Every structure is written in structure tokens, then in C-alpha cells.
Amino acid sequence: TFPPRVFSGIQPSGDLHLGNYLGALQRFVRMQDEAYEQTVFCMVDLHAITVWQDPKELAHSTRELAAGFIASGLSPEKSILINQSQVPEHAQLAWIFNCVARMGWMQRMTQFKDKAGKNAEKASLGLFAYPALMAADILIYHATHVPVGEDQKQHLELTRDIAAKFNHDYGVDFFPLTEPVIEGAATRVMSLRDGTKKMSKSDPSDASRINMTDDADAIAKKIRKAKTDPDALPSEAKGLEQRPEARNLVNIYAALSDQSVDQVLAEVGGQQFGAFKPMLADLAVAKLSPISTEMARLMAEPDEIDKILARGAAQAREITAPILQKTYDIIGM
């Protein structure tokens, strides 16, 4: 009964990295050409400020992320591109969801535990409530499909729980039970320095990740120095099971070249990393450098970016305002 709609977002809280590109952006670009009624992609600045952001840097990162979206192939003609704070219905619905979600549900969220660390008492209330805002981001569009990396799986389950509880509490079938879309070889790109940690903006080691703005030399150097093991590459995926660093590099290669891991290994099985790493570096540079060049060009015209986002916000509000109004009606407000 719900038309297929896609929503997803990325935080403007630092450099866009290869994990964001392969786990999220590259798949957003594909989905905008598939048979969805609407695709909405969002810079989630309200999420970013759950931890301190310098105001000037936040403004810069938001424009840069918008440039990254467009340079990667997201088109304002095919998708609605927005900055979250410019569509106030996200935050308005989030308050309602704060009243639907239970404290106990939030306390089980592993991302909060990871981000708050040992000193959870000092974390912002917003960091704790983050998943309710994320549910609002999705459900204010009645989105049915959300492309994300594996780290977001638990938050998507919570989104379904919130939708189901709202529908049950008010005796309606108003919010859809949204499906996460977690697929491909790179749903969890790992750090280049430690195969047990995911590649992340918040990792203090710059060598742990490939940033979308890195130049060819930086990309090649980071891949050359990436942690590996002394063995040759296996000829089947099974052979990577106990080798997280090796598996990570093969997964990245597969995702960048749009192949399965087995297809890649059929080609490179038996080779040493000394031979494979330069191939991976060449592929990464070929794929990423046109994007970073285009990002730099777009960043030279910030007014154009702001115009695209303003237009996106207006289009978005045609969807979100009626859904918020109907939500208020259901609640008796």
C-alpha cells in the first residue's frame, strides 16, 4: 500500500571516505535509476551536532558533502537532495518519536555505547535520542527502502519498532515498516590499519581511511601501507575467512570494479599483495579522482550548491508537511 520510496543520509561531520562511498553513495546513485517513486538523499546536520561541531566547519562540511553527492552522480533532477535542518518536519516528527520509543530500546543501541564511550553521563541527550531522529528522517517520507552500511542495521530495526508501536498505539496503518537495503561486497569497509575496526570519519588515524578528497599519491601510499598478511591471495572467498585485512582489500576491489569477490579472486588468486596493491591503487584512483576533481569544481561555486539544496528542501516539504499534519491529526493535535 506504500509506494516504494528511498531515503538515506550521511553526516556532514568531516571528510567523506571510501566506506561512505562504497557502503552508501555508490548505491544511492544506482537506486536513483531504479523503479522507485521517489529517492531522497540527505545531509544530516542535526545528527552531526550530537557531538560538538565547530560552526564554520559544519557549514563547510555540509557544502562539501553536497558537492560529494553531486560529484558521485546524484542528480537534483532525479533525486531530492536536502540538508536536514532545512526541512523542519524531520525534527518535529522526531519529538513525537521520542514519546513513542522506550528508554530501554535506546539503551540497547550499540552505536551509542561506542560513541559515548565509558563516560555516557557526559554524552549529549541528542546522541542518546539519535535513532529516534533517524526514524523520523525515514518515516517523514513514508520511505520503504533505506540503503545503508551494516553498522546501521540496528537503527533500522528500531525504526521498524517505532513505526509498529505508533501504528499499534493509535490503531492505524500509517507508517510503513521500512526495509534496510544492505548489499554488495562493501557493506562494511574496514580500517586500512586494523581489520577489526570499520573505516570511519571519527578514527584519529588518517592512514586508516581513504578520503574522497585524497589525491592520487595519498591514495596509492595509503594502500601500499595498508596492513596485510604474508600469504598469497586465495582463489576463492572461503580462503579469506580468517584474514580480515586481506578480505577487506579484496572487498574494496570487488565493490570498486562492480564484481563479486569470487570473480575478483578468479582473476588475482595466487598473487602476492606486492602485485595486488598497485592494481587496487590504480583502480581506486581511476574511480575516485574524477569525483574529487568535480567536488573541487563545485566547491568553487557555493551559491550553486546552496540553490540546489534550497530547491530540494522545497520539494521535500511537499511530501513532509502533509505527513506531519496527518500525524498530528492521528494524535489529536
Binding residue positions for ATP: 11-13, 19-20, 149-151, 189, 198-202
CA 147 and chain centroid, separation: 8
148 scored as a contact of ligand ADP (CB under 6 A) = yes
Cβ distance to ligand ADP smaller for residue 46 or 324? 46
H helical segments located in the chain: 18-20, 26-31, 45-48, 55-71, 89-100, 103-107, 110-116, 125-139, 153-170, 216-225, 244-257, 261-268, 273-299, 302-331
All cell numbers assigned to 195: 581489520
> Shortest distance, CB of residue 12 to ligand ADP, whole angstroms?
8
Sign of CA dihedral 14, 117, 139, 146: positive
Q: Of residues 118, 165, 197, 201, which has the active-site annotation? A: 201
Contacts of 141 (CB under 8 A, 6+ apart): 5, 7, 38, 40, 316, 319, 320, 323
Write out the binding residues for ligand ADP, residues 13-32 only, by CB under 6 A. 19-20, 23-24
Q: Among residues 149, 176, 180, 184, which is the contact residue for ligand ADP, using CB under 6 A? A: 149
Alpha-carbon dihedral sign for residues 13, 18, 19, 23 = positive
Catalytic residue among 56, 78, 115, 287: 115
User: How far is the C-alpha of 152 from the C-alpha of 131, rounded, in Å?
Assistant: 10
Residues in region 151-190 near Na ion by CB under 5 A: 151
Q: Pick the closer one to Na ion by CB: 75 or 154.
A: 154
Say which entry of Na ion, ligand ADP, none residue 148 contacts (CB below 5 to 8 A, set by partner kind).
ligand ADP
- Give the separation between CA 15 and CA 28, rounded to whole angstroms: 18
Q: Considering CB under 5 A, how many residues would be counted as binding Na ion?
A: 1
User: 160 contacts which partner out of ligand ADP, Na ion, none, CB within 5 to 8 A by kind?
Assistant: none
Q: Does 62 bind ligand ADP (CB under 6 A)?
A: no
* Stretch 200-219: interaction string toward ligand ADP, x if CB under 6 A: xxx-----------------
Let me know: does 287 contact 26? Beta carbons within 8 Å. Answer: no
Q: Report, as residue numbers or ranges, the catalytic residues.
A: 115, 198, 201
Binding stretches for ligand ADP (CB under 6 A): 10-11, 19-20, 23-24, 148-149, 151-152, 186-189, 198-202
